[in-house]
């Protein structure tokens, strides 16, 4: 029995709450710079601190968000009043977690495929993150999709890394979020996305079993089954149906919860998909959100780096969080978009 079993269960109970999801605010240096550039903000440490203080300080956010995924830098940052950002989150009832992978590189001998790195020294890093208040972790594996990608080698190698990461987390007393992301880039059909997602998840759970992961003490963060961005769009009900079919075929019921990534969907699309998914009956796990862009885009556009816009940006974040929380309970309607 894992000596951390009670702690892991307590974290799961805090994260998996009906009508709540996760805020992914764990963009790496290059990614946050890209997001800031869209609104003309320079990515300085001070601007990143100001932005993430704004997000976590949003009054009432804890009503709809049970956990936040932070980037390493943020764990060491404080709000204007000197309170560490992880405590600010915890005070709102939001469990702080941390992205622990070190990003993706090309997978050798597999042109077009990628592999996520960061396993070396992970156990030691987790010890430090825990002292700084983190209670869960996240590792993202990325799968490029085409008629030939991802290769079986990439599917296997990424599954193995995800499982090794998850084992190290559980041994350290942190709940692992396992994130296999099949990218939306490309002109592939929804059927091709379903085929790849099925193969990826099948291999991920095989590897998790090999590494004795306690499924009750982990969360899955998958991409939805959708058509490629350059393909003609598929309607929301069809995407929801294909997503649930693939998950039912590959994810054991013991998994504590499934929290989707938004992966480049618009905020409205991501909410509509989550709602449609939750309107489908046959599924054993809570299905909620762990969105980055789909939660942050509207507040980022409202903020534009100006202190005077903080309240408006916080209102925009709260609105998206509230609508996604409704979607997680199959209670969203597109008419809700016109509410403030």
Active site residues: 179, 221
* Interior/surface letters 149-172, b for 16+ CB within 10 angstroms, e for the rest: bbbeebbebbbbbbbbbbbbbbeb
Among 48, 135, 140, 273, binds ligand 13P (CB under 6 A): 140
| Residues within window 41-70 making contact with ligand 13P, judged by CB under 6 A | 69
Kindly tell me the sign of the dihedral angle through the C-alpha atoms of 130, 132, 133, 138: negative
Compute how many residues bind ligand 13P; rule: CB under 6 A: 12
User: Smallest distance, Å, CB 259 to ligand 13P?
Assistant: 10
If the CB atoms of residues 4 and 258 are measured against ligand 13P, the closer one turns out to be 258
Among 273, 293, 320, 322, binds ligand 13P (CB under 6 A): 293
User: Smallest distance, Å, CB 304 to ligand 13P?
Assistant: 19
Report DSSP letters for 132-185, one per residue: TT--EEEEEEEE--SSSPSPHHHHHHHHHHHHHHHHHHHHHT-EEEEEEEE---
Looking only at Cα atoms, what is the longest distance across the chain? 53
Number of residues in the chain: 340
User: Smallest distance, Å, CB 289 to ligand 13P?
Assistant: 8
Among 222, 263, 286, 298, binds ligand 13P (CB under 6 A): 263
> Three-state DSSP class for 11?
helix
294 scored as a contact of ligand 13P (CB under 6 A): yes
Among 262, 278, 288, 314, binds ligand 13P (CB under 6 A): 262
Among 97, 186, 267, 292, binds ligand 13P (CB under 6 A): 292
| Residues within window 6-35 making contact with ligand 13P, judged by CB under 6 A | 24, 26
Question: Structure tokens of 250?
Answer: 């590959």
C-alpha dist (Å) from residue 146 to 149, 240, 252, 332: 5, 22, 27, 33
User: Smallest distance, Å, CB 294 to ligand 13P?
Assistant: 5
Kindly tell me the sign of the dihedral angle through the C-alpha atoms of 39, 44, 47, 48: positive
Residues that bind ligand 13P (CB under 6 A): 24, 26, 69, 140, 179, 261-263, 291-294
């Amino acid at each position: 029995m894992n000596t951390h079993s009670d702690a892991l269960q307590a974290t799961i109970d805090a994260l998996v709450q009906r009508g709540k999801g996760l805020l992914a605010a764990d963009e790496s240096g290059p990614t946050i710079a890209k997001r800031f550039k869209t609104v003309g903000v320079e990515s300085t440490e001070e601007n990143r601190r100001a932005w993430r203080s704004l997000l976590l300080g949003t009054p009432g956010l804890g009503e709809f968000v049970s956990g936040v995924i932070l980037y390493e830098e943020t764990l060491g940052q404080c709000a204007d009043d000197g309170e560490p950002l992880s405590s600010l989150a915890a005070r709102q009832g939001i469990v702080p977690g941390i992205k622990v992978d070190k990003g993706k590189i090309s997978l050798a001998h597999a042109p077009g495929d990628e592999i996520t790195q960061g396993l070396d020294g992970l156990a030691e890093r987790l010890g430090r993150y825990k002292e700084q208040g983190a209670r869960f972790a996240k590792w993202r594996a990325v799968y490029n999709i085409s008629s030939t990608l991802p290769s079986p080698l990439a599917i296997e190698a990424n599954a193995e890394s995800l499982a090794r990461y998850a084992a190290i987390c559980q041994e350290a007393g942190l709940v692992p979020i396992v994130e296999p992301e099949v990218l939306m880039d490309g002109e592939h059909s929804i059927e091709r996305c379903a085929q790849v997602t099925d193969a990826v998840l099948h291999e991920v759970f095989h590897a998790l079993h090999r590494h004795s992961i306690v499924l009750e003490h982990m969360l899955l963060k998958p991409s939805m089954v959708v058509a490629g961005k350059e393909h003609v769009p598929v309607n929301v009900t069809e995407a929801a149906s294909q997503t649930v079919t693939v998950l039912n075929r590959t994810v054991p019921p013991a998994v504590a919860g499934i929290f989707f990534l938004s992966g480049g969907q618009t905020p409205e699309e991501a909410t509509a998909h989550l709602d449609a998914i939750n309107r489908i009956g046959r599924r054993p796990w809570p299905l909620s959100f762990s969105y980055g862009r789909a939660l942050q885009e509207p507040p980022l556009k409202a903020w534009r780096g100006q202190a005077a816009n903080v309240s408006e940006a916080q209102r925009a974040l709260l609105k998206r969080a509230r609508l996604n929380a409704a979607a997680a309970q199959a209670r969203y309607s597109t008419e809700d978009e016109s509410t403030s």
